[in-house]
Amino acid sequence: MTSTVDARTPANLGPVNLGPARALSCRECGHQIPLAAEFACSECFGPLEVAYDFGRVTREDIEAGPKSIWRYRNLLPVPTDVQSFPNTEPGLTRLVKADRLGAALGVRNLWVKDDTGNPTHSFKDRVVAVALAAARQLGFKVLACPSTGNLANAVAAAAARAGWESVVLIPSSLEKAKILTTAVYDGALIAVDGNYDDVNRLATQLAAEHEDWAFVNVNVRPYYAEGSKTLAYEVAEQLGWRLPGQIVVPVASGSQLTKVDKGFRELGELGLVDATPYRVFGAQATGCSPVSTAYKAGTDVVAPVRPDTIARSLAIGAPADGPYVLDTVRRTGGAVEDVTDEEVVEGIRLLARTEGIFAETAGGVTVATAKKLVETGQLDPDADTVLLITGDGLKTLDAVADRIGPKAVVPPNAAAVTEALGL
């Protein structure tokens, strides 16, 4: 069965080919609608998510596929021939066995999923590639987003590669590096005087006015969100087709965390891995920790906050998927924890020192949270554990700039170097 596009999608396309995707389904009431550019349920305003009708998917087919997220195309809302369109080909980043970091944290078997290796150096290339592929099928021509930084990079680059126009909205206070690394792709970059939550509200208004703009995380959000499942697929495949015992995921809107869980569950249901139990942990910066606060208070209500943290890529004060993060961590036996900006910087430095990986502030949040979870007995030191490192430190140099530098400045002679080294 092929679904048809509803009247609110820009072009008259007839049936939409989005591979195994069959419908959009409401996460609250289960109401289903045909595949379209919709994100809220017409019955109850709950968030819509993609429902599938998976055919037979084998490990062999996946392993024989492209060296990018498209090896999982039969598990994503994208057309089967998705690779034939120019795209940034993200994914299949390194899963690093992190023994030295593990020893420092007291975790016996630790891996780091190093998503700094994506085309624009964050995990956002995954979600944007899926959003773009779906948006193309839905008839859009302009790629847009409100962003805390990494999404801006990913949208501007993906649009450039595809030959699309882009409209990217950012808070004007964003790190200079993230502004430049977006502007270089020469789309329409607009800095807004306000915080991310203001920018997001503005995007929702603009999405209603410009029906041919695909706001990746607004009107095509159900497709975009599915891109995060590829992190779970890759971790399982790279572990030799098995699930880890524990995974620590940074939380901004919370979408990534819920989709990592969805990815693990699908692999079990499809028989691609044994459906062994796993625990999902969320990581936030204390200066923007609405989900951690709700978790610790034992409530289901995520009260919005005004963000104040150096972890700007995670600074979403009103996280759309917050309640679903709480459901996921409680169901799997995980937790949500938060760490101070001081601990974030220590987390960045610890990862760099032990594994030679320079993460951005969000990575510092993940490492520092893992450390705290071990110290407080919430993370099992004997379970196979994966940390998601979702972005590159070169984009947030300011976080460490005041604290690190050369050990000494010396004249160009050997004796001076020896002396500086204390030898």
Ligand X SMILES: *Cc1c(COP(=O)(O)O)cnc(C)c1O
Applying CB under 6 A, the residues found at the interface with ligand X are 122-124, 150, 250-256, 313-314, 360, 362, 390-391
The answer to whether 336 touches 307, Cβ cutoff 8 Å, is no
150 binds, among Zn ion, ligand X, none (CB under 5 to 8 A by kind): ligand X
Instruction: Give the shortest CB-32-to-Zn ion separation in angstroms.
Output: 9
Instruction: Give the shortest CB-263-to-ligand X separation in angstroms.
Output: 13
46 binds, among ligand X, Zn ion, none (CB under 5 to 8 A by kind): Zn ion
Q: Is 68 or 255 the residue whose CB approaches ligand X more closely?
A: 255
CA–CA distances in Å: residue 101 to residues 105, 251, 291, 363, 394: 6, 21, 26, 13, 20
C-alpha 87/C-alpha 92 separation (Å) is 15
CA–CA distances in Å: residue 141 to residues 160, 208, 222: 12, 16, 18
Which helix (H) or strand (E) segment is 388 a member of?
Answer: strand 385-389
Q: Is 246 or 313 the residue whose CB approaches ligand X more closely?
A: 313
Instruction: Give the shortest CB-145-to-ligand X separation in angstroms.
Output: 11
Instruction: Give the shortest CB-83-to-ligand X separation in angstroms.
Output: 24
255 binds, among ligand X, Zn ion, none (CB under 5 to 8 A by kind): ligand X
26 binds, among ligand X, Zn ion, none (CB under 5 to 8 A by kind): Zn ion
SS (H, E, C) 328-379: HHHHHCCCEEEECHHHHHHHHHHHHHHHCCCECHHHHHHHHHHHHHHHCCCC
Q: Is 294 or 314 the residue whose CB approaches ligand X more closely?
A: 314
Instruction: Give the shortest CB-412-to-ligand X separation in angstroms.
Output: 40
SS (H, E, C) 205-243: HHHHHCCCEEECCCCCHHHHHHCCHHHHHHHHHHCCCCC
- Which residues here bind Zn ion, judged by CB under 5 A? 26, 28-29, 31, 41, 43-44, 46
Instruction: Give the shortest CB-401-to-ligand X separation in angstroms.
Output: 19
Report the side by side order of strands in the sheet with 48-52.
32-33, 21-26, 48-52
For the stretch 398-404, contacts whose Cβ atoms lie closer than 8 Å and that sit 24 or more positions apart, written own/partner, are 398/175, 398/176, 398/310, 399/310, 399/344, 399/345, 399/348, 399/360, 399/361, 399/364, 400/345, 400/348, 400/349, 403/345, 403/349, 404/349
Instruction: Give the shortest CB-123-to-ligand X separation in angstroms.
Output: 6
Q: Is 43 or 186 the residue whose CB approaches Zn ion more closely?
A: 43
Q: Is 135 or 174 the residue whose CB approaches ligand X more closely?
A: 174
44 binds, among Zn ion, ligand X, none (CB under 5 to 8 A by kind): Zn ion
289 binds, among Zn ion, ligand X, none (CB under 5 to 8 A by kind): none
139 binds, among Zn ion, ligand X, none (CB under 5 to 8 A by kind): none
124 binds, among ligand X, Zn ion, none (CB under 5 to 8 A by kind): ligand X
The answer to whether 199 touches 170, Cβ cutoff 8 Å, is yes
Q: Is 41 or 311 the residue whose CB approaches Zn ion more closely?
A: 41
Instruction: Give the shortest CB-333-to-ligand X separation in angstroms.
Output: 20
Nearest in space to 136 (alpha carbons), one of 47, 216, 51, 226 = 216
Q: Is 57 or 232 the residue whose CB approaches ligand X more closely?
A: 232
28 binds, among Zn ion, ligand X, none (CB under 5 to 8 A by kind): Zn ion
Q: Is 18 or 231 the residue whose CB approaches ligand X more closely?
A: 231
Q: Is 123 or 215 the residue whose CB approaches ligand X more closely?
A: 123
Instruction: Give the shortest CB-29-to-ligand X separation in angstroms.
Output: 23
Instruction: Give the shortest CB-103-to-ligand X separation in angstroms.
Output: 25
29 binds, among ligand X, Zn ion, none (CB under 5 to 8 A by kind): Zn ion
Strand residues in 246-342 grouped as ranges (E): 246-250, 279-285, 336-339
C-alpha 371/C-alpha 351 separation (Å) is 11
Q: For the chain, what is the total number of helices (H) and then of strands (E)?
A: 15, 13
Tell me the backbone φ, ψ of residue 330, rounded to 5 degrees: -70, -40
Q: Is 41 or 156 the residue whose CB approaches Zn ion more closely?
A: 41
